[in-house]
Structure 1
Amino acid sequence: MLTEPLGALGLDVEAVEISPAGKRRVLRVAVDKDGGVTLDDVAEATREVNRVLDDSDVMGEQPYTLEVTSRGVDRPLTLPRHWRRNADRLVKVTLADGSAVTGRIVAAGEESVTLEVTGRRRDLAYDGISKALVQVEFNRRSTATGDGADEEGED
């Protein structure tokens, strides 16, 4: 019910979860889009989800609380668009054979992803990946920002 109306806003529905919370329920809707989700996107999505739910009886009579959020870094990368949207991020990948590799996403296609692992590029087919999570980097030095933080001697 939410995919088409949120798609019209340029958003992908990444997850819909309903969980009990006392006498109420919590309906969580996670959305994402190319370039990332802004607070304005979340507000607009919340209005649209409310409209869709108000026009239907899918939630029944029991009260609920609606939470619309961005996808978040804690969710596994499972679709090519997840990889593409996290280009240049560090990821930990568990392969189907049980081995693990950590690298930076260089490119993401429809069938595979290219990571930079210890200075070398490595292509991985999605069907050979059992789990992948973005790694949070607190002190990453970036040449893309142009803020000088990547110059020698600066922390």
Structure 2
Amino acid sequence: MSVLLGDNIIEWEAVMAVRSGNEKHASTRRSAVEAELQVEAQRLRTRLQPVVEEHDLYLEDVEVKVAGSHRTVHIVVDLPEDATGSVGLDVISAISSDLSAAMDSDPEDDDRPYSLEISSPGVSRPLTEPRHWRRNVGRMVEVKPATGDTVVGRLQDVTATGIRLIPQLPVKKGMKPKLGDPLALEFSKIRKGTVQVEFAHLEDEHHENSEGAEPDDSGAEHLA
């Protein structure tokens, strides 16, 4: 055990005060940088959205990260709500050149180097907006309500205020799944929702893709 006396106590308190001040400054700086990146992401979203829409796609998200003087701009694009399948690599490749051109000709850009990453939402994407749910009608989903037990079932319908699904009831291993009565849940009462991967469904998509259809929810990514 060590004991601090007299001048040692004063010196220790001074060191702790400096350390606390440095930590607060670092935290404030991080918050300021995050706020700046959010503003930059929103500005780029406004600029790049028309380019995405020209390709008949939906601009899902724009995220900006920095490492020193280098920026990484990650753009997520998706198909319209009424479309089936997902964004293929050929579409990602086609839109990347137009997005790069829009970035390069940005009059408000500060000329810092950047990397442009373009991807489509993967199957693991959380369902956080009504359009996400509408894009996945017919799929198996896992829903965690604000209160109560987690529900797994097939998404049947999506309305302006919530969803309706057919629950899959728990059964013993090896038994055929049983379905429950239709269940309606309001968006305001859903804490989290995700799509469940179905192997049979993936096999069907592979067959469709062999006939010329796009692979579904590939999460395709392209680096420009």
| 98 and 30 in structure 1: CA distance in 2 versus 1, 3 angstrom threshold | farther
Paired residues, number:
145
Query: Which among 140, 147, 151 is matched to residue 200 of structure 2?
Result: 140
Alignment correspondent of 1:124? 185
* 1:44 and 2:104 are equivalent in the alignment: no
Query: Which among 120, 124, 128 is matched to residue 78 of structure 1?
Result: 128
TM-score normalised by L of structure 2: 0.57
Query: Aligned equivalents of 1:38 and 1:53: distance in 2?
Result: 22
* 1:16 and 2:59 are equivalent in the alignment: no
| Unmatched tracts of structure 1, length 5 or more | 148-155
Shift of 1:117: 0.3
CA distances 1:99-125 after superposition (whole Å, capped 9, x unpaired): 321111112222221111021321111
- Which of the two has greater helix per residue? 2
* 1:26 and 2:72 are equivalent in the alignment: yes
Shift of 1:29: 0.3
TM-score normalised by L of structure 1: 0.80
CA distances 1:5-42 after superposition (whole Å, capped 9, x unpaired): 21222111111112235652221100101222122221
Query: Aligned equivalents of 2:111 and 2:160: distance in 1?
Result: 42
Query: Aligned equivalents of 1:18 and 1:141: distance in 2?
Result: 34
| 109 and 117 in structure 1: CA distance in 2 versus 1, 3 angstrom threshold | same
Shift of 1:68: 0.6
RMSD (CA atoms) = 2.4
Shift of 1:83: 1.0
Q: What percentage of aligned pairs have identical amino acids?
A: 33
| 98 and 58 in structure 1: CA distance in 2 versus 1, 3 angstrom threshold | farther
Query: Aligned equivalents of 1:98 and 1:57: distance in 2?
Result: 51
Shift of 1:98: 5.4
Moved over 6 A (4+): none
CA distances 1:27-81 after superposition (whole Å, capped 9, x unpaired): 1100101222122221222122112112204542221111110011222112222
Alignment correspondent of 1:112? 162
> Which amino acid in structure 2 is aligned with residue 16 of structure 1?
V
| Secondary structure of 2:98 counterpart | helix
Query: Aligned equivalents of 1:81 and 1:101: distance in 2?
Result: 20
> Which amino acid in structure 1 is aligned with residue 93 of structure 2?
A
- Which of the two has greater strand per residue? 1
Alignment correspondent of 2:11? none
| 11 and 99 in structure 1: CA distance in 2 versus 1, 3 angstrom threshold | same
